[in-house]
Structure 1
Amino acid sequence: MFFRHIFASLLIIFATFSYADDSMMFSELEFPNTEGDTVNMTDYKGKVVLLNFWATWCPPCVKEMPSMQRLKERYADDGFEIVAINAGEEPDVVDAFLLQLDTELTFPILLDQKGVSFIALGIKGLPMSFLLNKEGRSVMTFMGGREWDEKAQTDLIEAELAK
């Protein structure tokens, strides 16, 4: 009985620590944008955020970008933002890539040249995205590319926006 009580207490402490730690990790992310200005994820507190990790050499990453832009436009006035963090590439490579896209992206593109986010967030591949609630906590993790403006994704986003 005594050990069961200690085990239950440790589980509660661990769950609380993990939950707080998740928010702390995302809020501590800070990278330059394509203009060289530093952007911190705390700038988006109070918004639902789709945090996307991508690279120019990743076909599924490139394929999902137009649907991300449509999603951004659809929820632009609803407290929603997309932040796309490029993983490990030089700014000139990212800039050249963005100029070649058929769709102009109006959401922030940040540069994680050293791949810090891979270690901090345990990113296992690209693209990888996190849906963050208004408090900056991850409510869903997505591996692989998708059409972001399809119903399955918009239902999740709308549910978070309604909270």
Structure 2
Amino acid sequence: MKKYILRPITFIALIVCLLSSSFKSDQRKPAFGFTLDNIEGKKVSLSDFKGKVVYIDFWATWCKPCLMEIPHSKTLKQKYADNDSIVFMYISIDQPDNIDGWKAVVEKKGMTGVQLISREGLEEKIIQRYGVQYIPHFVLIDKNGNIADAKAPAPSEPKTEQAINKLLLE
């Protein structure tokens, strides 16, 4: 008789353990640290912005969809102009021999925010670490330096503001 009672209890306990471990996988993971050059040639690290929400835009000057997002990104950034708790970071994956072209596009398009360039183009380690398979690609980092959304919505999507606002309230 004990066998018949013990088996269902063991089975239920096993299910509960499996479910609880799957919920743990939903927890945020630390963002991968990196240091890249900004438009002035100075080193900038992701860790410089700990305590702030960071919206990262991986892009390139040769990427038409990336260029189409720039006006939306400028509008989105303007909505948070008075909020020091968010940083808009743009990481160009242009090849190192196109730094002048990158700077020209940033200036011509009036892009502001943290402008960074990969010195290794598509071979940059952060491209792989953040799972960037296509561009434009967006990532949201929470105030604790964790990846909140590895495939964040684009600036042109209405749900982007909701995602940012949610992180700002945490």
For residues 131 and 166 of structure 2, what CA distance do their matches in structure 1 show? 26
Do the aligned partners of residues 110 and 96 (structure 1) sit closer, same or farther apart at CA in structure 2, a change above 3 Å counting? same
Give the drift of 1:113.
2.2
How high is the TM-score relative to the length of structure 2? 0.76
Unaligned runs of 5+ in 2: 1-9
Alpha-carbon distance in 1 for matches of 2:137, 2:52: 20
Give the superposed CA RMSD.
2.9
User: Given the alignment, which residue of 101, 113, 119 partners 1:93?
Assistant: 101
Q: What displacement does 1:139 show?
A: 1.4
Q: Which residue of 1 aligns with 2:70?
A: 65
Distance in 1, matches of 2:48 and 2:167, equals: 18
Aligned length: 153
CA distance in 2, matches of 1:46, 1:107: 17
Q: Select which of 76, 87, 102 maps to 1:81.
A: 87
Choose 1 or 2 for highest CA Rg: 2
Helix, strand or coil at the partner of 1:81: strand
CA distance, structure 2, for counterparts of residue 76 and residue 128 of structure 1: 22
- TM-score computed with the length of structure 1 as normaliser: 0.79
Matched, 1:131 2:140: yes
* 8 A contact 1:55–1:61 mirrored in 2: yes
Equivalent position of 1:118 in the other structure: 127
CA-CA distance at 1:120 after TM superposition: 2.0
Question: Is residue 2:58 matched to residue 1:53?
Answer: yes
> Where in structure 1 are there 5+ consecutive unaligned residues?
none
CA deviations 1:4-33 (Å, max 9, x no partner) are 59x85xx58x849x84xx3151xx111000
